[in-house]
């Protein structure tokens, strides 16, 4: 029975996605949950698994084409019958006005496609093992680069020795556990791609992720009444706690003790007292959210991604620290799932990681607030009528004045400041 393959929704505010790579050709077999294509949105680049096993009988959306979520992008013959693949000269784009190839009905109203989108593609012969070329996807090659893996050492389980995402992730996990080679190095620093000038100016098209970030940020500014406030908090006790515990924390738990979990815990406790910070707006209604799902902005080479720690209010300090490390690692390795970027109710971003004193971030829809964390620095401050040197940080909040008043925002920031300055929660 034919199965429609649809463009998934990779986040609440995501309305469309771009197919950047097809891993299967027309007429090729695909297993259920095997990587079928790669997409890019403003929130995530991800491999999309096949919803069924069978033969790819129809490809309706070309590479680098952007379509709405829930649009049918391909059809799989689930009964596994051999597909009739047209010869190259028969694979033509229907003329304007001609009916597109028949597509089984879908419940989504967004599934309509223009004739120009329905392009049948000739099958390509698999790469020959005799060529010596490794059979991998772009995602697998990126993971290999980021983890310094020689793909020649990875045994592929796919057809013809193709190295799948599961193959390389299993290899990295074994290596980290001491099964093969040295431990993987830390993720590299994010750096801007160099621009090669061939004249006075150089025009470079935005990536799909960059285009959609731009669109959604402009939409947020049009939607929410942005207001900002900044407070300064002393971090002396937090810094002392981290310095005292970081070596034992890493030795016992296998992850580094960063400052991020401290800020998340403070935000969670402040939201308990002021739940409107954890709400959204629907017309003239305010929707309060029971679960506190904290989004953590992670900088990538070509954009920004915000994976979500689900039910952060139910986690202890160690649970939050583990979640932060896991999501950050998988975000930089392009291994986030659809669920990882959905459901955020409040977001934290960290311009201080690059030295910024503070930023005034744009609210991610449909949330109503976002916290900006600046750099932690030693500064002279007045304590008991004397000048003292203390670790200090600027914290900013961007909030939606449609539902949050200035007094509430100040109370929220005051609560965070109080928790950080009087930190007494055990981290070990």
Give the architecture-level CATH label for domain 210-421: 2-Layer Sandwich (3.30)
Instruction: Give the gyration radius of the chain's Cα atoms.
Output: 25
Q: In whole angstroms, what is the distance from residue 343 CA to residue 329 CA?
A: 20
Give every CB contact of residue 298 below 8 A, 6+ residues apart in sequence: 304, 305, 306, 307, 327, 328, 331, 332
Q: Report residue 88's pLDDT band, with 50, 70 and 90 as the boundaries.
A: very low
pLDDT at 106 over 70: no
Tokens of 175: 């290596």
pLDDT in tens, 322-338: 999 999 888 887 778 87
Q: In whole angstroms, what is the distance from residue 419 CA to residue 409 CA?
A: 16
- State the fold for domain 2-117: OB fold (Dihydrolipoamide Acetyltransferase, E2P) (2.40.50)
Read off the DSSP letter of residue 425.
Answer: -
Beta-sheet pairing, 294-296 with 346-349:
parallel
Tokens of 389: 């040197």
Read off the DSSP letter of residue 151.
Answer: G
pLDDT at 119 over 70: no
Instruction: Classify domain 129-176 at the CATH class level.
Output: few secondary structures
Q: In whole angstroms, what is the distance from residue 251 CA to residue 237 CA?
A: 22
* Strand partners of residue 386: 383
Q: In whole angstroms, what is the distance from residue 43 CA to residue 48 CA?
A: 14
The distance of Cα 11 from the centroid of its chain, to the nearest Å, equals: 9
Question: What is residue 6's predicted lDDT score, i.e. its pLDDT?
Answer: 93
Contact between residue 359 and residue 351 where contact means Cβ atoms under 8 Å apart: yes
Q: Which of helix, strand or coil describes residue 54?
A: strand
Burial letters for 254-280: b for 16+ Cβ neighbours within 10 Å, e otherwise?
ebebbbbbbbbbbbbbbbeeeebbbbb
Give every CB contact of residue 162 below 8 A, 6+ residues apart in sequence: 135, 136, 156
Contact between residue 154 and residue 126 where contact means Cβ atoms under 8 Å apart: no
Beta-sheet pairing, 35-40 with 226-234:
unpaired
Q: Report residue 137's pLDDT band, with 50, 70 and 90 as the boundaries.
A: low
Q: Report residue 150's pLDDT band, with 50, 70 and 90 as the boundaries.
A: confident
Question: What is residue 135's predicted lDDT score, i.e. its pLDDT?
Answer: 55
Question: Among all residues, which ones are annotated catalytic?
Answer: 401, 405
* Strand partners of residue 3: 76
* Mean of pLDDT over the chain: 81
The pLDDT of 40-61, averaged and rounded, is: 85
Contact between residue 338 and residue 9 where contact means Cβ atoms under 8 Å apart: yes
Question: What is residue 390's predicted lDDT score, i.e. its pLDDT?
Answer: 97
- The model carries a pTM of 0.66
Higher pLDDT, 158 or 21: 21
The pLDDT of 154-173, averaged and rounded, is: 74
Domain ranges of the chain: 2-117, 129-176, 210-421
The answer to which of 1-15, 117-131, 137-151, 290-304 has the lowest mean pLDDT is: 117-131
pLDDT at 10 over 90: no
pLDDT in tens, 373-425: 999 999 999 999 999 999 999 999 999 999 999 999 999 999 999 999 999 99
Higher pLDDT, 125 or 69: 69
Q: What is the CB neighbour count within 10 angstroms for residue 154?
A: 21
The pLDDT of 197-218, averaged and rounded, is: 86
Question: What is residue 370's predicted lDDT score, i.e. its pLDDT?
Answer: 98
Tokens of 178: 């001491």
Give every CB contact of residue 229 below 8 A, 6+ residues apart in sequence: 396, 397, 399, 406, 409, 410, 413
Q: Report residue 125's pLDDT band, with 50, 70 and 90 as the boundaries.
A: very low
Question: What is residue 49's predicted lDDT score, i.e. its pLDDT?
Answer: 87
Q: Give kind and range of the element (H or E) at residue 320.
A: helix 317-332
């Amino acid at each position: 029975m034919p199965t429609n393959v649809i463009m998934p929704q990779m986040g609440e505010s995501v309305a469309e996605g771009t197919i950047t790579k097809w891993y299967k050709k027309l007429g090729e077999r695909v297993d259920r949950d095997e990587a079928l294509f790669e997409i890019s949105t403003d929130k995530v680049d991800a491999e999309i698994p096949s919803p069924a096993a069978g033969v790819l009988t129809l490809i309706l959306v070309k590479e680098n084409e952007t379509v709405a979520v829930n649009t049918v992008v391909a059809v799989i013959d689930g009964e596994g019958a051999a597909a009739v693949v047209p010869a190259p000269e028969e694979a033509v784009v229907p003329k304007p006005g001609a009916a597109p190839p028949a597509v089984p009905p879908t419940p989504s109203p967004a599934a309509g496609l223009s004739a120009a989108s329905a392009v049948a593609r000739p099958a390509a012969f698999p790469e020959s093992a005799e060529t010596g070329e490794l059979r991998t996807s772009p995602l697998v090659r990126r993971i290999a680069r980021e983890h310094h893996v020689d793909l020649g050492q990875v045994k592929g389980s796919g057809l013809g020795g193709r190295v799948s995402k599961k193959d390389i992730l299993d290899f990295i996990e074994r290596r980290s556990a001491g099964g093969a080679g040295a431990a993987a190095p830390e993720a590299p620093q994010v750096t801007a791609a160099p621009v090669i000038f061939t004249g006075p100016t150089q025009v470079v098209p935005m990536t799909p992720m960059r285009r959609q970030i731009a669109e959604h940020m402009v939409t947020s500014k049009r939607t929410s009444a942005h207001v900002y406030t900044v407070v300064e908090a002393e971090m002396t006790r937090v810094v002392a706690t981290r310095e005292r515990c970081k070596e034992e924390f890493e030795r016992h738990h296998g992850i580094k003790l960063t400052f991020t979990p401290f800020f998340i815990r403070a935000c969670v406790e402040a939201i308990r007292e002021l739940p409107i910070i954890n709400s959204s707006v629907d017309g003239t209604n305010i929707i309060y959210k029971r679960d506190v799902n904290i989004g953590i902005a992670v900088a990538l080479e070509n954009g920004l991604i915000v994976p979500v720690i689900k039910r952060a209010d139910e986690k202890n300090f160690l649970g939050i620290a583990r979640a932060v490390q896991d999501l950050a690692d998988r975000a930089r390795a392009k291994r986030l799932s659809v669920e990882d970027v959905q459901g955020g109710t409040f977001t934290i971003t960290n311009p201080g990681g690059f030295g910024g004193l503070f930023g005034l971030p744009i609210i991610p829809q449909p949330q109503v607030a976002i916290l900006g964390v600046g750099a932690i620095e030693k500064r002279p401050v007045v304590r008991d009528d004397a000048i003292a040197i203390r670790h200090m940080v600027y914290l900013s909040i961007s909030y939606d004045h449609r539902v949050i008043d200035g007094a509430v925002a100040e109370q929220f920031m005051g609560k965070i400041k109080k928790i950080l300055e009087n930190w007494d929660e055990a981290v070990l």
